[in-house]
Chain A
Amino acid sequence: MTAPLLEVDDLRTRFLTPRGPMVAVDGVSLTLAAGETLGIVGESGSGKSVLGRTIMGLITNGPTTTVTGAVRVDGADIHQLTPQGRRALWGTKIAMVFQDPMTSLNPTKRVGTHLSESLRFHRGLSRGAARTRAVELLKLVGIPEPERRAGQYPHELSGGMRQRVVIAMALACDPKLLIADEPTTALDVTVQKQILDLLQSLAERLQMATILISHDLGTVSGRTDRVAVMYAGRVVESGETRDVFAQPRHPYSGALIESIPRLDAASHSLLPAIVGQPPNMLNPPSGCRFAPRCAFAQDRCRTETPALVDDVACHFPLTQALEVHA
């Protein structure tokens, strides 16, 4: 077997905050092969976005940030590179799409300029060639009248169109890995499906590996090969997406899936809610971090941190399939 495209090894991201140190990502290991799709799900504060940015190298060692562990993209450790070395990887090997398309675009630059910038920087294209390629990219992401749109400013586009432009920017230099951090959260449902369909078909056509980060289990369930569920900075369960959704083994994954209202359930059915709140990451609970909210927790869970063994980090993993899927 060839070396995986992405290897994340025991990654820890620690921030020094005015209220004390906070470990946002706490020992995450992942691998991703070329062309594969990985979903990362978790609630706000679970560390999924910090993980995405740390993989990308946007968060790296600095005065208030410590990153330990390794992120190897095609063999190169992104946190050992010089800033210039990282810039050379961005766009060509690894690219990212963020949640809010408006803040990802420069309001004073035309759409076409956003696209030709990286082509000129990385590929050394001439102004004219970059412009032609920019129009091709807009066509690729399904924007009607690409020539006219390339001359417009971001505020003249709708939210869905802007997100398409952001995707086109990410794809400009044929990256091998695309990290999409909540790419559709700011969009309406009818537009959301169009964007997810687009990402999926482009990934297949361009043989690109994708990491899809989302709080929305529905978004991840139908569109990824594998999924990692995060809670309080740690991966609590990972596996084939189909298996995790049909038979979650970590009590958190199970409770999360069950707490979502279902369209085919009767109205006014009582939702099996998870008690309590997600933990404060400045002072996380000892042992298993889900133990204070877990229906199955025992004394051992509160003292001893479960390791991720056989893709699940739980002392007492669930053994039965969820009723809703039975």
Chain B
Amino acid sequence: MTTPALEATDLVVEFPVGRGQKVHAVSGVSLSVAPGETLGILGESGCGKSTIGRALIQMPAPDSGTVRLGDRELTGLRAKELRGARARMQIIMQDPISSLNPRRKVKDLVWESHAIWGYDGDDKEAKIDEVLRAVGLDPETVRERRPHELSGGQAQRVCIARALMMDPVVLICDEPVSSLDVSVQAQILNLLEATKARYDLSLVFIAHDVAVVKNISDRVMVMYLGKSCEVLPSEDLHLRAVHPYTRLLLSSLPEAQQSSSANGDVVVERVAAELPSPLNPPSGCRFRTRCPLATDRCAAEEPLLRDIGAGHQVACHNVAL
């Protein structure tokens, strides 16, 4: 078996909020991304999906757990070593305009990482133009612009160009299309797909939109309240998902997006309850307060991810297989 491009084990991220209380943002999540693979992380707001993305690039570092980029361990490195070690992992954020320094021009934004690393070859202009073209921007038009002169879609392209400049092996995309218009969203998704093939990237794609995640990913990890509840190949997402929470997510989609052939065996009654507080998550299975299948065992014992074949893992005591 080849070494995963990125591997994380047992990540825990907690944020103290005073009075001895903590937000349990991520509680023991493991993942691995093979070279050239796209792992989708799917979940609602507050499930910890963005926190995982940030823990992977050590910004902030997880409270416990390990992150390996290729064969390099990132956790526990000193700041200076870390900067060198993680340069080949880049992140793209949700709001492209606010993640670009408003006072800098596009060419400087894209070149910034090289400037930081003190690289100053004669091919600077050529490299900038090449990477801008790679993301579908016309260098002549945008090179001298500042972020406020860009549309949301163009700004997201600049963010992707900037990430590509360091020749990364792993690209983390944190909700890269959710602030974009529908017609622009498809452009950026196609661009990410093309970029991944051209630059031999592995992607971690974090989003809340089920169909978007399904479209771009090879495998999907579904998260609920800081835990991973199901991991499965994306082709199986709408047909073979078995975790009650995944079923709830799928059944909440507008009818137009629902698949007519959805698995009818696991009927999920809608439960009106809302997301419990991450300050004080339920014992055992964290979904049990909203789960129609919940039993006493779910409160007492935390279900672990178990393999049910065909690359499919699920953390639930009660799903019938």
Interface residue A218 (Cβ < 8 Å from any Cβ of B):
yes
Query: Is the CB of B166 closer than 8 A to any CB of chain A?
Result: no
Q: Which of A272-286 contact B (CB under 8 A)?
A: 272-275, 277-278
Q: Are B181 and A267 in contact (CB under 8 A)?
A: no
- Known contacts: A188-B44, A261-B212, A264-B238. The answer to whether A256 contacts B183 by CB under 8 A is yes
Nearest CB to that of B187 among chain A residues?
Answer: A273
- Determine the residue in chain B with the shortest Cβ distance to A325: B256
Give Cα distance in the complex from A322 to B189, angstroms.
Answer: 21
Task: Judge whether B44 and A267 touch: CB under 8 Å.
Answer: no
Q: Which residue from B181, B190, B211, B255 sits with its C-beta under 8 Å from A43?
A: B181
- Of all chain A residues, which has the CB nearest B210? A263
Q: Does A1 reach chain B (CB closer than 8 Å)?
A: no
Asked if B308 is at the interface of the complex by the 8 Å CB criterion, the answer is no
The answer to whether A263 and B258 touch (CB under 8 A), given A188-B45, A269-B215, is yes
Q: Which residues of A contact B92 (CB under 8 A)?
A: none
- Residue A270 is within 8 A (CB to CB) of chain B in the complex: yes
Contact of A194 with B by CB under 8 A: yes
B272 touches A219 (CB 8 A): no
Task: Report B-chain residues with C-beta under 8 Å of the C-beta of A256.
Answer: 182-183
Q: Is A239 an interface residue (CB 8 A)?
A: no
Q: Are A272 and B274 in contact (CB under 8 A)?
A: no
What's the tally of chain B residues with a CB closer than 8 Å to chain A? 47
Q: Is A102 an interface residue (CB 8 A)?
A: no
Report the Cα distance A274→B189, complex, angstroms.
12
The answer to whether B184 touches A261 (Cβ under 8 A) is no
Chain B residues lying within 8 Å of A223, measured Cβ to Cβ, are 254
Q: Which residues of A contact B259 (CB under 8 A)?
A: 263-264
Q: Are A189 and B249 in contact (CB under 8 A)?
A: yes
> With a CB–CB cut-off of 8 A, which chain B residues contact A215?
181-182
A181 to chain B: closest CB distance in Å? Answer: 17
Count, A-B residue pairs, CB within 8 A? 125
Residue A139 interfacial (CB < 8 Å): no
Whether the Cβ atoms of A221 and B211 lie closer than 8 Å is no
Residues of B within 8 A of A293 (CB): 183
Chain A contacts for B257, CB-based, 8 A: 218, 260, 262-263
Residue B216 CB within 8 A of the other chain: yes
Bound-state CA distance A290–B260 (Å) is 33
Scan A190-204; emit 1 where CB is below 8 A from any B CB, else 0.
111110000000000
Which residue in B215, B218, B258, B270 is a CB contact (below 8 Å) of A265?
B215
Contact A271–B190 (Cβ < 8 Å) = yes
Residues of B within 8 A of A272 (CB): 186
Task: Tell me whether B237 is interfacial, beta carbon within 8 Å.
Answer: yes
CB of B99 within 8 Å of the partner chain:
no
| Complex CA–CA separation, A216 to B184 (angstroms) | 14
**B252 within 8 A of partner (CB):** yes
Given contacts A189-B208, A191-B274, A277-B184, contact A261 B215 (CB under 8 A): yes
How many Å lie between the Cα of A216 and that of B274 in the bound state?
A: 23
Taking A144-B272, A189-B252, A271-B215 as known contacts, 6 extra A-B pairs with beta carbons closer than 8 A to each other, sorted by chain A number, are A43-B183, A190-B248, A263-B211, A263-B257, A263-B258, A267-B218
Going nearest first, the 10 A-B pairs with the smallest beta carbon separation are: A218-B254, A273-B186, A271-B186, A222-B255, A261-B215, A259-B186, A274-B183, A221-B256, A188-B44, A261-B211
